[in-house]
Amino acid sequence: MRAALYKQLGSIENIVVEDIASPSAMAGEVVVSVKAAGIAFPDVLTAQGKYQYKPELPFSPGYEFAGVVKEVGEGVTQFKPGDGVLGRGHQGCREELAVNAKQVWKIPAGMDFGVAAGFGMNYATTYHALKDRAEIKPGETLLVLGASGGVGLAAVELGKMIGARVIACASTREKLDTCARFGADELVNYESQDLRAEIKRITGGRGVDVCYDPVGDKYAEPAVRSMAWGGRYLVIGFAAGEIPKIPLNLVLLKGCALVGVFWGDFARREPEKGYRNTEELIRLVAEGKLKPLISAKYPLERTGEALADLLTRKVQGKVVVTVRH
Ligand SMILES: NC(=O)c1ccc[n+]([C@@H]2O[C@H](COP(=O)([O-])OP(=O)(O)OC[C@H]3O[C@@H](n4cnc5c(N)ncnc54)[C@H](OP(=O)(O)O)[C@@H]3O)[C@@H](O)[C@H]2O)c1
């Protein structure tokens, strides 16, 4: 079977496509014939050797995937060959994948495999962040940085679904238009406008109740300075590179909280809650209440290009690799 692989860490240019042996299902596992794999910023960081998780090599990108169950291992009763599934666990960019059955969910018949492969991680991270960590309430103001990106657009859509007033920030007009299509109430171009002044204007000087920050770097401090009394600042990631250093007096003065979000560890430490969250999200997508944006599809041979487009800020929503037709 074919697989996109990196054999050494350091650069996304190290990705090659090669034939490797097919897996078989061990006890508690399913083998999935992969149709599509979702690519996200953690894939870029992993390939560069900058992610908190250092994989054993060779390794395939694609932290999430969708496909059809080919084989079930001993003890697996909830799936059978032919079931359409989505899953997490690593290495989606290979034609067959053996994964723990607890990291796999059934998908409704007819759900597009690209969509199924592309919403799980972003929406589950964001659902956990907004619901479990920030405990956001209808009517609160939600500031989203990097709002047209993978997790960012999920925050815009889920924030609106929960009833928040959403202020979306991005770097271009085109990206902001996408945020508006997903329901954002207010738009700020944080490259050409003064982020703090704009938030002050939009909130009448009150500040925001919740900030969702997957970007970090120079964008973080003005956002912390824009928190309302009792606000919650969600630390999601650092796509812009630098991990910001925030003066803690700001947190004191605003009576606000800096709240860490680490979806992967949450799902490991609280597997049942994590599993239920994803089941709920699958239902919301199937009912058409959430409409995740898959902005580009790449064939397996061009997996490296998908990562390069993320790295150079060309992507909106999610990109997926089509592994098998
Ligand atoms: N905490 C968790 O559990 C968790 C889970 C998933 C992802 N993450 C993290 O969340 C972050 C975003 O992931 P994602 O998959 O949503 O990425 P993405 O789709 O590439 O979105 C990142 C956004 O950041 C903005 N950005 C600003 N400066 C950038 C730069 N120098 N390079 C790239 N992007 C830049 C871009 O928007 P503009 O051009 O509009 O600025 C882009 O839309 C990553 O750090 C990832 O590791 C965390």
Distance separating alpha carbons of residues 66 and 297, to the nearest angstrom: 14
Among the atoms of ligand 1, which is closest to the Cα of residue 44? 47
179: helix, coil or strand? helix
Cβ–ligand 1 contact at 42 (below 6 Å):
yes
pLDDT band at 11 (very low <50, low <70, confident <90, very high): confident
Cβ–ligand 1 contact at 216 (below 6 Å):
no
pLDDT at residue 239 in the model: 94
Q: Atom 27, ligand 1: which residue's CA is nearest? A: 240
| Same domain flag for 15 and 87 | yes
| Same domain flag for 70 and 145 | no
Q: Is 147 inside any structural domain?
A: yes
Q: Atom 22, ligand 1: which residue's CA is nearest? A: 149
| Same domain flag for 227 and 200 | yes
Q: Is 161 inside any structural domain?
A: yes
Q: Is 274 inside any structural domain?
A: no
Angle between helices 150-162 and 113-127 (to 10 degrees): 70
pLDDT above 90: residue 53: no
Q: Atom 32, ligand 1: which residue's CA is nearest? A: 240
Distance separating alpha carbons of residues 120 and 292, to the nearest angstrom: 10
Q: Domain ends where: 238, 261, 284?
A: 261
Q: What is the pLDDT of residues 258-275, one digit of tens each?
A: 999 999 999 999 999 999
| Same domain flag for 106 and 150 | no
Cβ–ligand 1 contact at 214 (below 6 Å):
yes
Q: Is 155 inside any structural domain?
A: yes
| Same domain flag for 144 and 115 | no
Give the dihedral sign, CA 62/64/67/70. positive
| Same domain flag for 157 and 189 | yes
Distance separating alpha carbons of residues 51 and 53, to the nearest angstrom: 5
Say which DSSP state 315 is in. Answer: -
Q: Is 304 inside any structural domain?
A: yes
| Same domain flag for 164 and 227 | yes
Q: Is 73 inside any structural domain?
A: yes
CA of 82 to the centre of ligand 1 (A): 35
Q: Domain ends where: 244, 261, 278?
A: 261
| Same domain flag for 159 and 219 | yes
Cβ–ligand 1 contact at 170 (below 6 Å):
yes
Distance separating alpha carbons of residues 215 and 57, to the nearest angstrom: 28
Pairing state between β 227-235 and 208-213: parallel
CB proximity list for 5: less than 8 A, separation 6 or greater? 15, 16, 17, 18, 20, 58, 59, 60, 94
| Same domain flag for 141 and 212 | yes
CATH number (domain holding residue 205): 3.40.50.720
Structure tokens at 73: 């291992």
**Which among 66, 60, 53 has a CA at the least distance from the CA of 320?**
66
pLDDT at residue 52 in the model: 82
Among the atoms of ligand 1, which is closest to the Cα of residue 40? 15
- Asked if residues 231 and 204 have their Cβ atoms less than 8 Å apart, the reply is no
Q: Is 143 inside any structural domain?
A: yes
Distance separating alpha carbons of residues 243 and 262, to the nearest angstrom: 15
- Asked if residues 87 and 64 have their Cβ atoms less than 8 Å apart, the reply is yes
Cβ–ligand 1 contact at 237 (below 6 Å):
yes
Cβ–ligand 1 contact at 313 (below 6 Å):
yes
* pTM (2 d.p.): 0.95
Q: What is the pLDDT of residues 88-111, one digit of tens each?
A: 888 999 999 999 999 999 999 889
pLDDT band at 174 (very low <50, low <70, confident <90, very high): very high
| Same domain flag for 105 and 145 | no
Distance separating alpha carbons of residues 57 and 196, to the nearest angstrom: 44
Cβ–ligand 1 contact at 295 (below 6 Å):
no
Average per-residue pLDDT for the chain: 96
CATH number (domain holding residue 44): 3.90.180.10
SS3 content of the chain, % helix, strand, coil (to 5): 35, 25, 35
Q: Is 251 inside any structural domain?
A: yes
Q: What is the pLDDT of residues 127-168, one digit of tens each?
A: 999 999 999 999 999 999 999 999 999 999 999 999 999 999
pLDDT at residue 54 in the model: 85
Total domain count, the chain = 2
Cβ–ligand 1 contact at 46 (below 6 Å):
no
| Same domain flag for 6 and 100 | yes
Pairing state between β 104-106 and 84-88: antiparallel
Q: What is the pLDDT of residues 280-311, one digit of tens each?
A: 999 999 999 999 999 999 999 999 999 999 99
Among the atoms of ligand 1, which is closest to the Cα of residue 190? 41
| Same domain flag for 177 and 89 | no
Which range marks the domain in which residue 25 is found?
2-119+293-322
Among the atoms of ligand 1, which is closest to the Cα of residue 148? 43
Q: Where are the alpha helices (DSSP H) in the chain?
A: 41-48, 113-127, 150-162, 173-181, 195-202, 220-224, 248-254, 263-269, 271-286, 303-311
